[in-house]
Homo-oligomer: A and B are copies of this chain.
Amino acid sequence: MADATPSLVLLAELGMPGQRIELDHDPAHYVVHVCRARPGDTFWATDGAGHLAHLRLVTVAPSVTAEVESRVRQPRKRECVVWCGAPEGTRADWLVEKLAELGVGTMQPVDCARSKWEARPSRMARWSRLAGSALRQSRSVYLMRIEPPRRLTELLESIPPGASLWFADPDGLKRVSPPEETMSIGMIGPAEGVDDRERGLLEARGFKPISLGESRLRSETAAMAWAAWWASGADG
């Protein structure tokens, strides 16, 4: 029998095979009211942390519960973090959606000398919902993390060892093959660009300048283009 939901369901906790779990409001609404699943129907779910589970709906009232039939972990071979300078206006919303769809692990807003993020709680909450929709859409088992904004200097002090480091720069290296490293970080300046001091810090820390094409790109387009370039390096 086909599964009851076309999309992957995102659950806070997946439980282990044989366990019965209660669904929170949003996933319960999606499974029962949007997809009209009935007791006995099955669906796929993820915790957004690399686990995929097949569940069978048990009750729909008074609470929505399901039994975990199977659960597997899907390890990631490659992961990337995008350090994003602030784009103009409301362009961050679709940036969140596109980075999440392209399989970016973490979006890290970066406060630069020339431009800072406005990360109100309502905005962070909306971004988190957008990342969840993108996960369902792309049937990915990894939910993109969205970190609160941090200063570039602070971030430069907490880079994991062995990461491949990139910096989007119209005058950078051309025709570069995407990295095969387990962890990559791509830094994209804000709409106003990074200043000379910031560029110096990035270069000193080993960030390689990379040109993403012949055009001058908006900040959010460059972030998305870097992520697409990184994603094109997946080996399956």
Task: List residues of A whose CB falls within 8 A of some B CB.
Answer: 94, 98, 101-103, 137-140, 174-178, 211-218, 221, 224-225, 228-229, 231-236
> Which of these, B175, B211, B213, contacts A102 with CB under 8 Å?
B213
In the bound assembly, the distance between CA atoms of A231 and B214 in angstroms comes to 7
CB distance from A212 to the nearest CB of B (A): 6
> Which of these, B176, B178, B211, contacts A175 with CB under 8 Å?
B178
CB distance from A167 to the nearest CB of B (A): 15
> Which of these, B98, B176, B212, contacts A221 with CB under 8 Å?
B98
> Which of these, B176, B213, B235, B236, contacts A228 with CB under 8 Å?
B213
CB distance from A21 to the nearest CB of B (A): 26
Closest residue on chain B to residue A180 by CB atoms = B175
Q: Let me know if B103 and A215 touch, CB within 8 A.
A: yes
A-B contact pairs, 22 of them (CB 8 A): A98-B224, A101-B215, A102-B213, A102-B215, A102-B217, A102-B225, A103-B213, A137-B216, A139-B216, A140-B216, A175-B178, A175-B234, A177-B177, A211-B236, A212-B228, A212-B231, A213-B228, A213-B231, A214-B236, A215-B231, A224-B228, A225-B232
